[in-house]
Amino acid sequence: MYPLEGSTDRIERLGTAGPIFFHFRVDTHLMTERKSPTSLGGRAESGLLIGLVAVLVLFVVSGLVSYFNTRTLNRNGRLVTHTHEVLSALAEVLSLVKDAETGQRGFVITGEEKYLEPHAAALIRINARVDDIARFSQDSPEQLARIPALRAGLKAKLQELDETIALRRTKGFDAARAVVLTDRGKAAMDAIRDQVELMQQDERTRRVQRLTEMDNAYRVAVVSGVVTGLIGVLLSLAVAYLLRQALFTQQRQKWLQSGQIGVTDVMAGDQRLQQLGENLLRFLVEYLDAHAGAFFVQVGGSYRRVATYGTPVDGGAPAGFEAGDGLLGQAVKDSRTILIRDVPEGYLRVSSALGQGTPRHLLIAPLTADDTVNAVLELGFIHPVDDSVLELFERISEAIGVAVRSVSYRTDLQNLLEETQRQAEEMQAQGEELRVSNEELEEQSRALKESQTRLELQQAELEQTNSQLEEQTQLLETQKDDVSRSKAVLQVQARELEQASQYKSDFLANMSHELRTPLNSSLILAKLLADNREGNLSAEQVQYAETIQAAGNDLLALINDILDLSKIESGHMELSLDSVRLTRLVDDLSRTFDPMAQQKGLKFRTQILPGCPETLSTDRMRLEQVLKNIVSNALKFTEQGEVTLSVSRATDGRISFAVVDTGIGIPEHQQQVVFEAFRQADGTTNRRYGGTGLGLSISRELTRLLGGDIHLASEPGRGSTFTVTIPEIYDSALVSPRGLPTPQPSPPSSLVVHPRSPEMTSPQPATGAVPVRVHRIDDDRERLTGNSRVILIVEDDEPFARILYDLAHELDFQCLIATTAEEGLAVAAQYRPSAVVLDVGLPDHSGLSVLDRLKHDARTRHVPVHIVSGGDYTQTALSLGAVGYLLKPVKREQLVDALKGLETRLSQRMRRVLVVEDDPVQLDSLRRLLGSHEVEAIGAENAAACLEKLRDQTFDCMVLDLTLPDASGYSLLETLSREDAYAFPPVIVYTGRELSVNEEQQLRRYSKSIIIKGAKSPERLLDEVTLFLHQVVSDLPVEQQRMLEKARSRDAAIEGRRILLVEDDVRNVFALTSILEPRGAIIQIARNGREALESLEKFQGKPDQAIDLVLMDVMMPEMDGITATREIRKRPEWKKLPVIMLTAKAMKDDQERCLSAGANDYMAKPLDIEKLLSLVRVWMPR
Amino acid sequence: MSDKTEDIELRLLLEAIFRKYHYDFRGYSMASVKRRLGQAKLHFGCTTFSMLQDRVLHDSTVLPELLSFLTVQVSELFRDPSYFRVLREQVVPHLRTYPSLKVWVAGCSAGEELYSLAILFREEGLEERTLFYGTDINPDALKRAEAGVYGLDRIPLFTENHRKSGGKSSLSDYYTAAYGAAVFDKTLRQRAVFSDHSLVSDEVFAEMQLISCRNVLIYFDVEIQNRAIGLFKDSLVRKGFLGLGAKETLRFSQHAEVFTEFAHNERIYQKQGAL
């Protein structure tokens, strides 16, 4: 705004600015020569001051001059007097000497004393006078010097005088006269006279001198007086002039100031430029006694007229000018006020604003603000313009400049403001648009945020899933670990087993020999006995011996088989290879078995198909053994038809011997089993066909040793085909290792049995062939009587099952036996036994799963199950619902106890449920729903029947429909609770009606469980009833329990007190009521804060019913506990009412909130009964 | 800055929030809390969690805003319609057998789920006997839930969800639209109690037949999940129902054995009582 360059510009202008000459007188007045009004006034004042000082100095000087003159006169006067005194003293001294002389002379002459008188008087005074002279002559050393001479003269004279006088007296006249005649006296006298004369002379000279001095002093005094007077007059005149000057200056200042003030006043206020100009012109013209004026303001680079005064509007002042254009421009350019005096008549060439007028004098004043000319004022005067006008302009120039600038600024501001407002409006419009787009953006951003949060959610979900996956992985890992651990264990066990098996085989191999030795002798001896060589045995005894021999032979065959097997297993079997002719082999077999076949009425055919070699290289004996075994088996199991042995070359080049029979066949699932040691397709086969069951195992092993294998193809009832395939030439490399499943994959049963379960190694390995074995153990299923005492034994160990069976019979149970889990479940479902004794290690599933399934089947879940097992699964079994657990081996007494335990359970009376329902169809279906082996559901169709039944009988539980023909369910319940004549079992309300909160509240007092009929209600009813029956078992009768409870829990502090329980949760209401009511408290219930207040209000007026204490829940609908407590505390009459709050919130804050709301105390849920009671006791008013 | 330092700061911040305001986020799943506080950190212009901690501790006005960062407020009416369909078709028949019902929406956020349930219960004629509890730790959310005002733009989605959930009436019966927002019928919350309740620190407050706690557990760590599920277990009646979010499961909870799966896909569980 105020560029620095402005000042330098100005300096340059000043530097070059010379005086401006026109041919008329131009007074220029440099703006920069302005002096402040105070300095102007100061000059006048200092002049005045100097004048005054000069007057003072004058007076002081003239005073001093007078003083010194007077002093000189005084001193000289005194000195003259002094001289005069000296003179007179000298004269007197002389006179006195003369007097003394006179007296002496007179005496001398006369002798008369009287003449001495003047002498005496003179003597006295002479010395005094001489002293006086000496004193007066202190200032004159010459005179002082003369005084001793004088004194000497005087002394001499006086001495002469005294001598003469004394002589006269003494010697008389003559003597004296002589002396006098000596002229001594005269000489002395002359000396004195000379001295006095000298001194007088001196004094006189001095007096003249002093008188002259005095004359001079007088002259000086006169002259100085005149001069002082003159100067005084002059100075007075000067001071008067100065005073007048000062006054004038002051007036001028005043004029200037009032002009300034006037200008300032005119400019005051919020004016526009034109208005300002007009006001200014009007004021200045009037104030300065001008006649015309114009006012220009800088607008942009040029100056524009904004106001005129006293000039015609048209053709008067120009509308504007540029800097340097004309006088106005010059004034601007030079930044100085131009005063043009005595404008010539008709002088119009000057492009002044007032061209048409004829003002005699013009004043052009640039108005500056911060050294920038921003306005020009031109005034025309008729009369001459004095300097004060210029000075005024000097003074107001800046003010006006500033004002103009301010106005300009203000105008600018105004314009800017308008601009701003316009822009603001525009902005508003834009803002509106922005807002709209912002809203859209917000919308979008909200959508974005939403999707972000959604993403967040998804992320969290993903994390959750991830963590779950991790957990699952971990679980899998654990399982994997478990599996690998088990695998390791299994491997160890397998190794151990293998080793054990090896030991076993070794042992058997050894044992068999050891066995054969004594057996041999027994056989021999039996044979001897049977032969009865002595003939001393009875036929019977011979038969015994033959039986012994036969048994011995069987035993021997068995031992041989075992030996073979164990040899093979232990690897002790050795082969002796040789060349075997096929025809011979077949013929031998044919020869061996033909008789046997014929004996059975069968046909045994042999054939060697083409393509077979003549000889085989193998162990003939072993091959024969295998074929013999198979053929003999085939014959054994074939009742009719034929057995064929055919030899052919198999597709792989080996030789196969196929034995085809038309016998009973082997079921598919048995086909694997037949090859296993000690197994046969059907356990019963043993007894029917004899044999050890080892044959096929041995055959398989031998075939394996020969480098071949056995295949079985069979269909039950159609016959079987055993095919033995061996290589044409034995090669030990072809021998497969032992244990490989030769004919079939491993049996499925091995999957079921837990590897560590003791059952696996139990001595019942033959139970693998399950479903076929039906009724293996005899039981009572065909002989069941109506007696409900039936016990089911699920046990795969037959002897043990038998023992249990006998024991059950002893205890008068009928007994069913199942040996597998599936059978057990089937039997349980079919026969509904009243108790079950269950083994855990069953061949197909674990007994625990049987237990679980029994407990999850509605038909069997009530049946008590007792476990007897070799493994310890006590916890699991009991948690699954078993009533007892015995660990094998068990003692008989334990078993007896267990069964007796089951018996007591059974002998307990039936659970009885009273069903009160008016609709017969419903009643029937409910009875059927609830009734079971142990639950007897008894119906009552109306309240009367119900009451009757409850009076006569006891029930464990009662299911009540609320709508009854003769009374409402409520009144029935109330009757029951009121009258002791009726038993009051636990009630399950079962109603088709929806209940209001009040109704529910009312019912809750009697019933723990309320069920609304609907699609799912039977399920829930059964559930609740079952729950009830289970809960009440082994408890005292409820009534009795209640009485006991009542007697025990009366509490003096609580007895008879009224407690308002404010709680919306029915369960809590019930719980708290059942805690407090037995202790004698009278409970009022409110379900929310508002009801609590109403309740308090209601009982307020009745002293016998007033509430003693409030238990207040916090979280309630309508009005929460905090608000309710505050409301309570607002009432003066309830200020002291104890309020205990029950809060589920754990934080200290919440509890503080309770207390600050006005509660006396609080208690956190879950509620501790003892703590609650003690709190109630503490706060209960006494 | 190392992650370790940041983790320390984060834990200190959570500890500070807990000590000062008793909002316990310490048991929340760390990754999620870290992400969300990271956003809060940016929002408040802090460079570290420690700075945020300073702000939170000394300027209590920061907390409400911070809470809305910490608690994820996203839901919609009838979110996952199949969940509500199963509630309607399979759970409601069971609930009908109770004379009075209590339903707890734990972590109700802005109330969408509670209103959904209220509408569902009204449609099924159970509303009259039901009391709904909506709890959350965020007071702002509770206020919004109580107001029941949702953006009009969300209504189409709500309507669609409602229809898919097997809605028997028109959703428009339950709200009034005005000024770009939809105000849900005041009568829907007549039977609703909104309250501040923390699954982390607070206790059981009433016996419930149905608890719906969807997408809350995912923000908790295992310990707090167990606590919350324990609360649900203690709150539920025997045979009561617990509904969880689509990605939540009880399988790994220590209370898993108390519940049986009622509807596997919808994560609805039923509490089993001991006989």
Give residue B202's identity as a one-letter amino acid code.
Answer: D
Counting every residue written for chain B, the total comes to 275
Q: Average pLDDT in the A906-929 region?
A: 79
Quote the pLDDT of residue A25: 39
Please indicate if any CB of chain A lies within 8 Å of the CB of B1: no
Locus of tokens 């005045």: A48
Give the closest-approach CA distance of B131 to chain A in angstroms: 8
∠ CA B147-B151-B152, rounded to 5°: 120
Dihedral sign, CA of A182, A188, A191, A197? Answer: negative
Tally of CB atoms within 10 A around A981: 10
Quote the pLDDT of residue A207: 83
Q: CB B205 to CB A1165 under 8 A?
A: yes
Cβ-Cβ contacts under 8 Å, B252 against chain A: 468, 471
Q: Average pLDDT in the A863-873 region?
A: 80
Tally of CB atoms within 10 A around A749: 17
Which has the minimum average pLDDT: A294-298, A568-572, A1112-1116?
Answer: A568-572
Quote the pLDDT of residue A280: 83
Q: CB A1166 to CB B100 under 8 A?
A: no
List pLDDT tens digits, range A494-515: 888 888 877 776 776 666 667 7
Q: CB B193 to CB A1116 under 8 A?
A: yes
The model's confidence at residue A743, banded by pLDDT at 50, 70 and 90, is very low
Residue burial A517-542, b: 16+ Cβ < 10 Å; e: rest: eebeebbeebeebbeeeeeebeeeee
Mutation for testing the B interface, residue in A1147, A1154, A1167, A1168 having most B CBs under 10 Å: A1147
Mutation for testing the B interface, residue in A1115, A1141, A1142, A1154 having most B CBs under 10 Å: A1115
Q: CB B102 to CB A1065 under 8 A?
A: yes
Q: CB A1065 to CB B197 under 8 A?
A: no
Say yes or no: ipTM exceeds 0.90.
no
List pLDDT tens digits, range A1140-1159: 888 877 666 777 788 888 88
Extract the tokens encoding A513.
């020999």
Distances (CA, A) of A43 to A40, A775, A860, A930: 5, 156, 138, 135
Nearest-Cα residue of chain B relative to residue A1025: B275
Residue A572 has pLDDT above 80, yes or no: no
Cross-chain CB nearest to B275 (options A1020, A1026, A1116)? A1026
Q: CB A1014 to CB B248 under 8 A?
A: no
| Cα–Cα distance measured from residue A1059 to residue A56, given in angstroms and rounded to the nearest whole number | 116
| Cα–Cα distance measured from residue A91 to residue A196, given in angstroms and rounded to the nearest whole number | 8
Distances (CA, A) of A606 to A603, A660, A724: 10, 10, 15
Give the closest-approach CA distance of B201 to chain A in angstroms: 6
Quote the pLDDT of residue A518: 72
Cβ-Cβ contacts under 8 Å, B237 against chain A: 1067
Q: Are A1037 and A1084 in contact (CB under 8 A)?
A: no
Residue A686 has pLDDT above 70, yes or no: no
Sheet holding B181-184: strands in order across? B149-151, B181-184, B175-178
Quote the pLDDT of residue A21: 37
| Cα–Cα distance measured from residue B144 to residue B142, given in angstroms and rounded to the nearest whole number | 5
Backbone angles phi, psi at A141, to 5 degrees: -60, -30
Residue A915 has pLDDT above 60, yes or no: yes
Higher pLDDT among residues B154 and A737, named by residue: B154
Which has the minimum average pLDDT: A12-26, A137-151, A654-668, A1145-1159?
Answer: A12-26
Residue A692 has pLDDT above 70, yes or no: no
Q: Are A914 and A949 in contact (CB under 8 A)?
A: yes
Cross-chain CB nearest to A454 (options B74, B133, B203)? B74
Cross-chain CB nearest to A1016 (options B36, B97, B203)? B97
Residue A1071 has pLDDT above 80, yes or no: no
Interface of B with A in 164-203 (CB under 8 A): 191-193, 195-198, 201-203
Quote the pLDDT of residue A27: 41
Which has the minimum average pLDDT: A197-206, A815-824, A1011-1020, A1164-1173?
Answer: A1164-1173
Based on its alpha-carbon atoms, the radius of gyration of chain A, rounded to whole angstroms, reads 82
Q: What is the pTM of this model?
A: 0.41
Cβ-Cβ contacts under 8 Å, B151 against chain A: 446
- Residues (pLDDT < 50) of chain B are none
Cβ-Cβ contacts under 8 Å, B96 against chain A: 1012, 1014-1017
| Cα–Cα distance measured from residue A931 to residue A914, given in angstroms and rounded to the nearest whole number | 11
- State which H helix or E strand residue B193 sits in: strand B192-196
Please indicate if any CB of chain B lies within 8 Å of the CB of A371: no
Helix (H, G, I), strand (E, B) or coil at A183: coil
Please indicate if any CB of chain B lies within 8 Å of the CB of A994: yes
Q: Are B136 and B71 in contact (CB under 8 A)?
A: yes
Q: CB B129 to CB A465 under 8 A?
A: no
Tell the burial category of A365 from Cβ atoms under 10 Å away from its Cβ (0-12, 13-18, 19+). Answer: buried
Helix (H, G, I), strand (E, B) or coil at A611: coil
Tell the burial category of A693 from Cβ atoms under 10 Å away from its Cβ (0-12, 13-18, 19+). Answer: buried
Dihedral sign, CA of B105, B107, B113, B114? Answer: positive
Q: CB B32 to CB A1065 under 8 A?
A: no
CA atoms lying within 13 Å on the CB side of residue A930: 33
Q: CB B197 to CB A1144 under 8 A?
A: yes
| Cα–Cα distance measured from residue A175 to residue A181, given in angstroms and rounded to the nearest whole number | 10
Q: CB A1115 to CB B206 under 8 A?
A: yes
DSSP letters of B226-270?
Answer: HHHHHHHHHHEEEEEEEEE-TT--STTSTTGGGEEEEETTTTEEE
Of A964, A933, A924, A930, give the one whose Cα is nearest residue A947. Answer: A964
Residue A680 has pLDDT above 80, yes or no: no
Residue A1063 has pLDDT above 50, yes or no: yes
Quote the pLDDT of residue A8: 39
| Cα–Cα distance measured from residue A816 to residue A820, given in angstroms and rounded to the nearest whole number | 12
Tally of CB atoms within 10 A around A657: 27
The model's confidence at residue A224, banded by pLDDT at 50, 70 and 90, is confident
Q: Average pLDDT in the A436-460 region?
A: 80
Q: Average pLDDT in the A51-61 region?
A: 84
Residue A473 has pLDDT above 60, yes or no: yes
Cβ-Cβ contacts under 8 Å, A1145 against chain B: 196-197, 201-203
CA atoms lying within 13 Å on the CB side of residue B270: 17
Which pairs count as long-range contacts for A1135-1141, CB under 8 Å and 24+ apart, including other chains? A1136/A1181, A1137/A1096, A1137/A1107, A1137/A1109, A1137/A1110, A1138/A1108, A1138/A1109, A1138/A1110, A1138/A1179, A1138/A1180, A1138/A1181, A1139/A1109, A1139/A1110, A1139/A1112, A1140/A1109, A1140/A1110, A1140/A1111, A1140/A1112, A1140/A1175, A1140/A1176, A1140/A1179, A1141/A1112, A1141/A1113, A1141/A1114
Give residue A219's identity as a one-letter amino acid code.
Answer: R
Interface of A with B in 447-486 (CB under 8 A): 450, 453-454, 456-457, 459-465, 467-468, 471
Q: Would you put residue A949 in left (φ > 0), alpha (ψ -120 to 50) or beta? A: alpha
Residues 6+ positions from A493 with CB-CB distance below 8 Å: A755
User: Which one-letter DSSP state was computed for residue A954?
Assistant: -
**Alpha helix segments (H runs only) across A111-183:** 116-136, 141-181
Locus of tokens 């129902």: B241
Extract the tokens encoding B2.
């190392």
Quote the pLDDT of residue A767: 35
Cβ-Cβ contacts under 8 Å, B219 against chain A: 460
Give the closest-approach CA distance of B111 to chain A in angstroms: 16
Cβ-Cβ contacts under 8 Å, A453 against chain B: 72-74
Please indicate if any CB of chain A lies within 8 Å of the CB of B255: no
Quote the pLDDT of residue A345: 54
| Cα–Cα distance measured from residue A1004 to residue A1071, given in angstroms and rounded to the nearest whole number | 10
Extract the tokens encoding A855.
């407990």
Mean pLDDT of chain A: 76
List pLDDT tens digits, range A632-655: 888 887 888 888 998 988 888 888
Quote the pLDDT of residue A772: 35
Tally of CB atoms within 10 A around A1067: 16
Quote the pLDDT of residue B88: 93
Q: Are A991 and A916 in contact (CB under 8 A)?
A: no
Extract the tokens encoding A745.
């994959």
| Cα–Cα distance measured from residue A372 to residue A33, given in angstroms and rounded to the nearest whole number | 17
Q: Are B233 and B248 in contact (CB under 8 A)?
A: no
Q: Are A97 and A122 in contact (CB under 8 A)?
A: yes
Please indicate if any CB of chain B lies within 8 Å of the CB of A91: no
| Cα–Cα distance measured from residue A37 to residue A43, given in angstroms and rounded to the nearest whole number | 10
Nearest-Cα residue of chain A relative to residue B203: A1144
Tally of CB atoms within 10 A around A1028: 22
List pLDDT tens digits, range A389-405: 888 888 788 888 888 88
Extract the tokens encoding A374.
């921003």
Interface of B with A in 32-71 (CB under 8 A): 32, 35-36
Cross-chain CB nearest to A1117 (options B32, B36, B131)? B131
Quote the pLDDT of residue A1046: 45
Quote the pLDDT of residue A968: 83
Residues 6+ positions from A636 with CB-CB distance below 8 Å: A689, A691
Tell the burial category of A731 from Cβ atoms under 10 Å away from its Cβ (0-12, 13-18, 19+). Answer: exposed
Q: Which of A181-185, A253-257, A1125-1129, B17-21 ranks highest by mean pLDDT?
A: A1125-1129
Quote the pLDDT of residue A691: 54
Quote the pLDDT of residue A42: 56
Cβ-Cβ contacts under 8 Å, B273 against chain A: 1027
Q: Are strands B175-178 and B149-151 parallel, antiparallel or unpaired?
A: unpaired
Cross-chain CB nearest to B100 (options A1000, A1017, A1030)? A1000
Quote the pLDDT of residue A393: 80
Interface of B with A in 117-156 (CB under 8 A): 128-129, 131, 133, 151, 153
Helix (H, G, I), strand (E, B) or coil at A1138: coil
Q: Are strands A957-960 and A987-991 parallel, antiparallel or unpaired?
A: parallel
Quote the pLDDT of residue B103: 94
Mutation for testing the A interface, residue in B19, B22, B98, B248 having most A CBs under 10 Å: B98
Which has the minimum average pLDDT: A273-282, A831-840, A1042-1051, B1-10?
Answer: A1042-1051
The model's confidence at residue A879, banded by pLDDT at 50, 70 and 90, is low
| Cα–Cα distance measured from residue B128 to residue A1171, given in angstroms and rounded to the nearest whole number | 36
Quote the pLDDT of residue A259: 84
Give the closest-approach CA distance of A922 to chain B in angstroms: 16
Q: Are B25 and B16 in contact (CB under 8 A)?
A: no
Quote the pLDDT of residue B85: 93
Percent share of chain A, pLDDT over 70? 83
The model's confidence at residue A1000, banded by pLDDT at 50, 70 and 90, is confident
Cβ-Cβ contacts under 8 Å, B267 against chain A: none
